[in-house]
Every structure is written in structure tokens, then in C-alpha cells.
Structure 1
Amino acid sequence: MSLTEHGPVRRQQFHQRLGILHHTHLHRTLMARFPAAFNTRWTRRHWLHASLFVTVGVLLATIVPGFSSQLQPATPLHATLPLSLPPQTVKPPVASQPGHQWEVVQVQPGQTLGGLFSQMGVPARTMHQILEQPGNREPLTRLRPGAELAFALDESRALRGFRFDRSPTQRVELSLAGDKVHEKVLERATTTRVAVTSAEIDHSLYAAGRKAGLSPAAIAVMTDQIFSYDIDFKDVQPGDRFSAVVEETWREGERVGPGRILAATFATGGKTYTGFRFEREGKAEYFTHDGRPLKKSFIRMPIPYARLSSKFGARRHPVLGKMRMHKGVDYAATTGTPIMAAGDARVQFVGQQRGYGNVVILDHGKGHTTLYAHMSRFGKIKRGQHVGQGSVIGYVGSTGLATGPHLHYEFRVNGVHRNPLSVTMPPPEPLKGAELAAFRAQAAPAMARIESMERLMYATASAQKAAPRNKRG
């Protein structure tokens, strides 16, 4: 066989040998570039080193993310306290009927019901239709700022539903269809809580009361009902303090209503006055700790913020110019100032009497009567009517023989004139027997609450004030 005949076979063998030689040379070249440990057969020592490197690498991969997290800014510390939350209430549906969308409006200061209906495009005839429903007129005509009214309007903006709160516990929802009004009353769950508050007066009683959480109405009860007979609040000084136990009504996490004051104390002028609420014969009154009414039988000054212009006794009459006995006292005030009944009474006379002009005479029982003269006009009273202490019976004027607007006030005992500024007023009837026992059982826990609160507040305040002195010593 010649080379020509076997040429392809030999060329193939030649290339295979050439490839083997090239591969061997490349392998030696590459292996020469690696460390000696890779160019020789691995021993146990090589495998031990390799496993050690692998273990170190795994550890680094695990630990390094931990270090990186430490480099992040630390989150602030906080604590979560478990709170007892009121049960979740189900809100009324957003629409009373398909296609009727509720629009809620909040009453702003100075707004009237008529203005709100006009703002919503509801005619006055529809408003009067709602007011004619029993029980609606009084709550809707005495709206307070913040109250919410809901209007359900259809596509043509005609009123189909109306919703408002008749009381803290009742929500009224009306459905209107033509001249027919269907009413649905929804009872709203409320809870009652008793809170204790105390404050020291810095600048004003009102500011201290608001800061302590009392409503303006509660502050007025404390000043105008509980302590009005014993404390002249124009003389209250910084450092005086008060405490109160208040019964509050809550609805859906919101406090509603001003809250009734169950008990209160007021410290001023080195003396502490107390008052406790108790119902006697169905009427709520305030009493001292020993069961004596705080409300006196008579108030000495039946007109607020007035100036004493003439005292009781002999004087020269300012109009007649003659010496005459002045059988009462005069209080100068502007025309139209309200005049109050000095005590609970029956109206004995309403009309005109010679030089007295417009006069009201009240019969308080047990031979005690009071007279009020020179009125510009009368209050809403009539003869034989019973009026309560503090009720407005008329307004200051200058009718009759008077040189200017003032109130002439007389106090009589069995027909004899007495000086209203110095006469000994008859004391009110104290609690007795079973009523007194019930009062004491009710007042004791309230007083204990006040004493506990004051020990906590003012003992801490005294310790804080004493701390700087101790440091200086």
C-alpha cells in the first residue's frame, strides 16, 4: 500500500498526535502558573488546609451581615401598654335608601336651622314639616356649635331623609315621602364615669377650671350655685384651689354633656368650703358636709354687678326734697339689667303703685315678703305664680319717682320693714332622719376621692418646691 493510497488515514493520525502534543504543552504551561500544591498530587495536608479555608469563608458570610445591621441607626425605644377599649359601635348606614346619599353638616357659631336648610337647598316648607313632628322643635331650635345634622338627598337634590341627635342617648332618623314623615329613633349606648379633678388658681378661676377639664357649664355651677352664697369670686387670689367630683357621660369615645358636679371643695382666705349634691323631694340641691343647704333662704343682693346708691334709714328724698324714711335700699344699674327673686316665693302683686312705678311683690311664706320697684318692664310672671330663687322677675328702670335707673328693694317681716343688708335671714331647713343618713352615705365616698386626689397632687407639688431648698442647704 503506497502513501498515496493511505494518505487520508495517515493525515488523520498525524493530526491526532499533533493535538495530543498541543494539549500536553498547554496543560504544562497552565499548571506552571499555579502554586506547587496544585501541580502535584494532593496530600491529606492539602485537603486539611482547603477545608479550613472553606470553613472560614462560611463563617465570614454568616457574621458580616450581623455587623452591617449594627451599623444601621438604632430604632427608638417604645413600650405598648394594654388598654381597655370600649366595644366597637356600628355606625349608621351611609344611605337610607338606594340613591340617597347622606351629607353631614356641622353647625357653626351663629348659624341657624333655617340658614342650614337654605345652605343645603331644602325649602323652608320642608323644614317646618320636620319641626311639626312631636319632640323635634326644642332640640332643633336650640342647636349648639359642633352639633351634626345629616341630609339624605336624591339625584334631584330633594330631601328624602334627615338625621339629628335629639339627646345624648337618642338619634332620630326621618324618612320623607311627600307629606308623610316616618320617624325612627335609634338608642345610642352611653357610659357614665366619675372623674376627680383639682387645680390651683394662677391667674383666673375660669382658666384653672378649663385646664383641669371642667366644662364652662360645670364652672358656672360651682360659682353660681354651690359657693355663690359663701364666696365672693371677685376676691379669689392666686394660690386658692378647688377640687370637684364630676359625673360624666361618654358616647362612642366622646364626652357628651357638661357633666354633673357631685361634690366640690374650694379653699380661699384660709378656709375650705364644701358642697355635696343630693336630691331632696325630687329636687337636686347642694349641702354642706353636715347636711345643711348651701342655698340660703334669701340672697341679699337681687341684682348682679350693681352699686349700692342709697342705704336704709332716714334721708332727704331726691325728688320731693323732704326728709323721709327710706324703707329699703337702692341699687344703681343700667336700664334693662335683670332683677332676680331673692328667694323661692309666690307672686303677690304685679303692677303699678304711686311713686314706686312698676312694682313686683313676692310672698316667701312665714311672714316674709320682698318688694322690687321702679322697673322698666316685668318678667314673664303673673299673680299667684310660684317662682324660684334667682328667677328673673323684671328689669331695672326709672318709672315712678326716680331720678335715674335703679332698683328700690324692700324686705319685710310680718309687714315691718327691715334693713335688707343687716336683717338676720331665716336659715333653710337642714336634712333630717332618713334623708340625712342617705346623704352621709352618698357624700362620704365623694369626699374620700377628693382627699385622695389632693394628697397626691399637692404633696407632690410641695416636695418639688422643697427639693431646691434642700439642695441649697
Structure 2
Amino acid sequence: MQASRKTSSKGEIKLPKKHLAAVTAVAVCLIGVISFLPSKNVQAKRNVIAVDLPTDAQTPGQAKLTSATQPKAGNTQTTPQPPNWQKTTITPGDNLTTAFKRLGLNASDVYTVANASTEQKPLRRLRPGEYIAIALNEEGKLAQVKYTRSSLEHYLYERGENGFEGTKVILQPDLIPTHTTATINNSLSFDANKAGLSQAKIMELANIFGWDIDFALDIRKGDEFSVLYDEKFLNGEKVGTGDILAATFTNHGKTFRAVRYIEQDGAINYYTPDGKPMRKAFLRAPLDFTRISSNFSLRRKHPVHKRIKAHRGVDYAAPRGTPVYSAGDGKVIASGYSKANGNYVFIQHGGKYVTKYLHLTKRLTRKGKHVDQGDTIGTVGSTGYATGPHLHYEFLVNGVHRNPRTVKLPDAKTIAKNQRNEFIAQTVPLLNQLSQHNGMLIAQADTHD
């Protein structure tokens, strides 16, 4: 049985309307399915768009990581630990070998460090009270050596591929001006120390005024001093004292003033406020003595010959071996021995002055040698006609003996004219600081009165 269908005159098949609707619906479905299937010639593609974002960009709601909590990609190293130092204090007689032995090191370690490529010499001059510290590496081998001379200076020796290499380290402290004043009721040493000055600073003060004041004989009860000096601080801790900046000293009612000036060559000298040097051409006394055993006198009974004879110098009693200094710059014109004088040294200072030093245990200079003020020329003794260790010191002006204790000493050179402005710029602020402190103290004293 043939299905009945109608054909047009052109050969076209005409489907019933119901069939045509069904075919159309199937065709639409097939097209929809095919449109979601990839063709054989289609490849997956991805377009990448580079976008620069700020380093701290974050998505909404995401917590921002701090540098302490944010992980760093690829960084798996741990923070290096500081060296574990083992330290020993240098004692009298120590050297690098004995110090290293106490720290458990051997002769090989001593050799490698002592032959460091740089800074070898400091290790040959170890002083008592200094420190040597060592640090070992993970293998237990010596890696670092620290030689500490003071809180501001040390040497660091580190092992490298070619042995140890040394480096000198100088730390720069903060300088803070400090003021101290005192009235002498007992002695300069006692009262100055009670006021806070160290023995080294007391000696520095005495050396500044030593050309004008005889600190062994002239100090009296009621004398006063006021001093402005630097204190050194490192990381908030006091590590020492610096220079005296300015000072006054009142002796027998007369006040002397001194202020620091740094010369063009870096040397430090002290001057009066008007530019005259505190340093004189001669030392008042050429040694640190205990007492004067015999003064200058034209009529004195000689302790050995027991007769009246002029004593044309001053006898300074001091322990045997005490250093004797040249009183000024000059040339040695005699250095020898005689029955009366024992070991002696004579020095010519220009064409006007001669100083003589008698009864020395040793002579440490020779005829014709130039000496500077303060050079050691011999030591105290009792050679020749002497009853005990002392220095007999004579001072001649144009060939005439003068009393060394009272003769007017010539000044050293004053500030040059071309340095005058720099001198004022440096010294006026220091003198003003000292005056302000003194003024404040005076005001406080008036208030309490």
C-alpha cells in the first residue's frame, strides 16, 4: 500500500502540515546540538592580558599581610646568628699564645692569626686589662678574633680564603660638655677627686696651669678651680672623658684662665683668653718631686762640707730613678761626670738661658744633642757630693744664677695674626659656657645665703 502524497507539477513533494511541523522541530533541535560541538578544525585558545597591579593590591575581603607575616617566595634561609664570643682578659706577662691557650686554641691558631694579611702589629703589644675574644664556626674552627683595646677601639680578625684579615675599628662617641668646680680644703688631689675628677684629669689640669702655679708647694686652703671638659658617651653609656675645654684656677687670690685651641696641624694647646700661651718656654720644675730639700740661697751651710757656701740652685727631693726632664727646648752643651756634681747635664736655650741638672743616677742624653721641652734627660740620684737622692737644678740668665722658683719665665709664641679669627671662633663659645656655669653657681650661692 502506497502512502498517499501529493506531488506538484514540478516534481516537488508536498508533506502534510503535521509532518512538516515535526520535521521543522527536529531540525531546530539538531542545529542547536551541533552548535555546541567543536568542529575538527577548532583549537582551544586563551587570550592573556597583562595587568600591572600595585604591590599591595588585594581582593576585596582579603587581609593585607605585613612584612613580618608575608612569606617571601624562594627565601628559605634563616637569619644568621651573632657570633658566640668567648673572652679572656689580658694579664701582666700575657701574649697571644698564652691568651689563646686559655681559650682552648693551639699553636696553629696562634700562627695563622699572628700572620694575618693586615693589622699584625697590634697583636704584638697586648696590655694588661685589654681583651681577646674568639668565635668558632659550625665546624669548630677559629673564625673570628676580636682584640679590644678600649670601649672605643678594637681590631677584628676574620678568616677568609687566604687566611685571616685584620680591620681596625674606631667608634666615635658623643661628646657632652660637663662642668666641675671645687674649693681646696685638704689637697688638690683629694678635693678634685671628691668633686668627680679622675686622677688623669687632675694631672691634666695641673699640667695646663703648671707654668704659673707650683702645685707641689703653692697650693693653699681656699684655692678654687672651675673646669669645663668633655665626657664621652657611646649608646647612652659613659665610656670616658675628653679634653679640658676651658678652666680657671684661683691661687693665693690670683685667678688664671685657660682655654683649649686646636691648631691648624691638629695639635691641642691651651691659651689665655687673649691668646697668650699657657705653656711657657721653660718648666717651672723639671721633675715630679716630693719636696724641696734645699732652696736657692747665697748663704747656706753645705751638708757635706759643713761650711757656709752659696747654694745657687734648688734641691728637689725625689725617689731614686725619678725621670728628670729638659726644662725647655735647647742644645746639650755638657753631659758628663765630676767628683762634686756626680752625673750632670747642662743645656743651652738660645743665647740667653742655661739650665743645669746635677747628681743624676743616669744621663740619658749626650753633648751636642737637641732636646725638646719635657724630654727625659736623666734620672734622680745621689752621685757626687750628695747625702740623698735629689736633683740639684740651676737656672742662669745671661750667665747669672737666678732662683728657679721665682724667676720670670719667658712666654712661648703667641697666636699668629692669621689665626686670630679662628682662635676667637673656637675659644669664645667655650669661655662663655664656663662663665655661664660659674654665674649659675654664684647665683645659687647667693640664693642660699
Calculate the TM-score normalised by the size of structure 1. Answer: 0.64
Is the CA contact 1:247–1:260 (under 8 Å) kept in the aligned structure 2?
Answer: yes
- 2:179 aligns with 197
Sort the Cα spacing of 1:334 and 1:232 in 2 relative to 1 into closer, same or farther, 3 A. closer
- 2:205 aligns with 222
For residues 382 and 155 of structure 1, the distance between their equivalents in structure 2, rounded to whole angstroms, comes to 60
User: 275, 284, 296: which one pairs with 1:300?
Assistant: 284
For residues 245 and 371 of structure 2, the distance between their equivalents in structure 1, rounded to whole angstroms, comes to 25
Q: Equivalences for 1:40-189 in 2 at 5 Å?
A: 94-95=82-83, 101-106=84-89, 112-113=94-95, 116-123=99-106, 127=110, 130=113, 135=119, 137-138=121-122, 141=125, 143=127, 145=129, 147-153=130-136, 159-165=142-148, 171-175=154-158, 180-186=163-169, 188=171
Sort the Cα spacing of 1:272 and 1:129 in 2 relative to 1 into closer, same or farther, 3 A. farther
User: 451, 462, 466: which one pairs with 2:435?
Assistant: 451
For residues 231 and 208 of structure 2, the distance between their equivalents in structure 1, rounded to whole angstroms, comes to 19
Is the CA contact 2:301–2:309 (under 8 Å) kept in the aligned structure 1?
Answer: yes
Higher helix share: 1
Residue 197 of structure 1 and its aligned partner are, at CA, apart by: 0.8
Q: Which amino acid aligns with 1:367?
A: K
- 2:246 aligns with 263
Q: Deviations over 1:136-184 (max 9, x none)?
A: 5458735363x44311246897644211246765542213589943224
- 1:3 aligns with none
Q: Which amino acid aligns with 1:300?
A: R
Matched, 1:311 2:300: no
Q: Deviations over 1:233-291 (max 9, x none)?
A: 66656665433232344333333443011211234543332111124463322111121
For residues 107 and 366 of structure 2, the distance between their equivalents in structure 1, rounded to whole angstroms, comes to 35
Q: Which amino acid aligns with 1:141?
A: R
Q: Deviations over 1:94-127 (max 9, x none)?
A: 33xxxxx42133557x684565434323457855
Please state whether the residue corresponding to 1:454 is helix, strand or coil: helix
For residues 273 and 306 of structure 1, the distance between their equivalents in structure 2, rounded to whole angstroms, comes to 24
For residues 317 and 188 of structure 2, the distance between their equivalents in structure 1, rounded to whole angstroms, comes to 27
Residue 205 of structure 1 and its aligned partner are, at CA, apart by: 4.2
Sort the Cα spacing of 1:393 and 1:112 in 2 relative to 1 into closer, same or farther, 3 A. same
- 1:392 aligns with 376
Calculate the TM-score normalised by the size of structure 2. Answer: 0.67
Is the CA contact 1:333–1:406 (under 8 Å) kept in the aligned structure 2?
Answer: yes
Residue 394 of structure 1 and its aligned partner are, at CA, apart by: 1.4
Q: Which amino acid aligns with 2:247?
A: A
RMSD: 3.8
Residue 401 of structure 1 and its aligned partner are, at CA, apart by: 3.3
Matched, 1:378 2:360: no
Aligned length in residues: 365
Q: Which amino acid aligns with 2:175?
A: R
Is the CA contact 2:247–2:259 (under 8 Å) kept in the aligned structure 1?
Answer: yes
Gaps of at least 5 residues in structure 2 are 1-79
For residues 361 and 177 of structure 2, the distance between their equivalents in structure 1, rounded to whole angstroms, comes to 45
State which drifts further: 336-345 or 149-158: 149-158
Residue 431 of structure 1 and its aligned partner are, at CA, apart by: 2.3
Matched, 1:428 2:412: yes
Please state whether the residue corresponding to 1:300 is helix, strand or coil: coil
Sort the Cα spacing of 1:370 and 1:207 in 2 relative to 1 into closer, same or farther, 3 A. closer
Q: Deviations over 1:359-396 (max 9, x none)?
A: 222222233121111111134x4455443333332112
Please state whether the residue corresponding to 1:263 is helix, strand or coil: strand
Q: Which amino acid aligns with 2:241?
A: P
Please state whether the residue corresponding to 1:224 is helix, strand or coil: helix
Sort the Cα spacing of 1:124 and 1:435 in 2 relative to 1 into closer, same or farther, 3 A. farther
Is the CA contact 1:106–1:149 (under 8 Å) kept in the aligned structure 2?
Answer: yes
- 2:228 aligns with 245
For residues 81 and 191 of structure 2, the distance between their equivalents in structure 1, rounded to whole angstroms, comes to 41
Q: Which amino acid aligns with 2:417?
A: G
User: 392, 395, 398: which one pairs with 1:411?
Assistant: 395
For residues 173 and 432 of structure 2, the distance between their equivalents in structure 1, rounded to whole angstroms, comes to 23
Q: Which amino acid aligns with 2:354?
A: T
For residues 132 and 268 of structure 2, the distance between their equivalents in structure 1, rounded to whole angstroms, comes to 33
- 2:421 aligns with 437
- 2:70 aligns with none
Is the CA contact 1:196–1:450 (under 8 Å) kept in the aligned structure 2?
Answer: no
Q: Which amino acid aligns with 2:279?
A: K
State which drifts further: 196-205 or 129-138: 129-138
Q: Which amino acid aligns with 2:444?
A: T
* % identical equivalent positions: 32
Please state whether the residue corresponding to 1:121 is helix, strand or coil: coil
Q: Which amino acid aligns with 1:449?
A: Q
Residue 220 of structure 1 and its aligned partner are, at CA, apart by: 1.8
Is the CA contact 1:168–1:256 (under 8 Å) kept in the aligned structure 2?
Answer: yes
Matched, 1:401 2:391: no
Matched, 1:344 2:329: yes
- 1:4 aligns with none
Q: Deviations over 1:169-221 (max 9, x none)?
A: 55422135899432244564x24424131333465544554565544322221
Is the CA contact 1:203–1:238 (under 8 Å) kept in the aligned structure 2?
Answer: yes
Residue 354 of structure 1 and its aligned partner are, at CA, apart by: 4.6
Gaps of at least 5 residues in structure 1 are 1-91, 96-100, 467-473
For residues 410 and 431 of structure 1, the distance between their equivalents in structure 2, rounded to whole angstroms, comes to 30
Please state whether the residue corresponding to 1:260 is helix, strand or coil: strand
Residue 317 of structure 1 and its aligned partner are, at CA, apart by: 5.2
- 1:369 aligns with 354
Residue 445 of structure 1 and its aligned partner are, at CA, apart by: 0.9
